[in-house]
A = this chain, B = another copy of it.
Amino acid sequence: MSCVPSALVAGATGFAGALAAHLLWRHPEFELQTVTGRAEAGQRLDRVYPRYRVPLELQELDIDRHGDVDAAIVAYPHAASAPVVAALRERGVRVCDLSADFRLRELVTYERWYGPHPHPELIAEAVYGLPELHRDELRATQLVATPGCYPTASLLALAPLARAGLIADVVIDAKQGLSGAGRAATWQTHFSNSGENILPYNIVHHRHTPEIEEQLAALGADLRVQFTPHLVPLDQGELVDCYVTPTRAVEQGELEAMYEDAYGSEPFVEIAPEPAEVRDVRETNVCRLHVAVSEHTGKVVVLSAIDNLWKGTSAQAVQCLNIMFGYDETTGLL
Interface residues of A (CB under 8 A from B): 15, 26, 47, 50-51, 169, 171, 173, 175, 177-179, 183, 185-187, 189-201, 203-205, 209, 224-226, 228, 230, 232-237, 239, 241, 243, 245, 270, 272-273, 275-284, 288, 290, 292-297, 299, 301, 303, 305, 334
Contacts and interface: CB of A to CB of B under 8 A. Distances in A.
15 contacts: A47-B273, A50-B270, A51-B282, A191-B191, A196-B196, A196-B235, A196-B282, A197-B237, A197-B279, A198-B239, A203-B275, A203-B303, A224-B297, A225-B297, A228-B243
A228 B199 contact: no
Nearest to A174: B173
A279 B193 contact: yes
Nearest to A280: B50
Nearest to A238: B198
Copies of this subunit: 4
B204 A294 contact: yes
B198 A232 contact: yes
B185 A239 contact: no
Contacts of A305: 198
Contacts of A235: 191-192, 195-196
B279 A51 contact: yes
A209 B234 CA distance: 28
Contacts of A237: 196-198
Contacts of A171: 171, 173, 243, 299
A-B interface, 5 closest residue pairs, ranked by CB to CB distance from nearest: A204-B294, A178-B191, A173-B173, A50-B280, A197-B279
B234 A195 contact: yes
Given A173-B173, A178-B191, A185-B190, A196 B239 contact: no
A33 to B, nearest CB: 20
Given A198-B277, A243-B173, A203 B301 contact: yes
Nearest to A201: B275
A175 B235 CA distance: 17
A192 B204 contact: no
Q: Which of A179, A201, A294 counts the most chain B CB atoms within 10 A?
A: A294
A273 B292 CA distance: 35
Contacts of A275: 199-201, 203
A196 B241 contact: no
Given A191-B178, A192-B189, A198 B278 contact: yes
A231 to B, nearest CB: 9
A235 B283 CA distance: 15
A51 B301 contact: no
Nearest to A309: B192
Most central of A193, A205, A245, A278 by chain B CB within 10 Å: A193
Given A51-B279, A171-B171, A204-B292, A194 B191 contact: yes
A311 B95 CA distance: 37
B234 A233 contact: yes
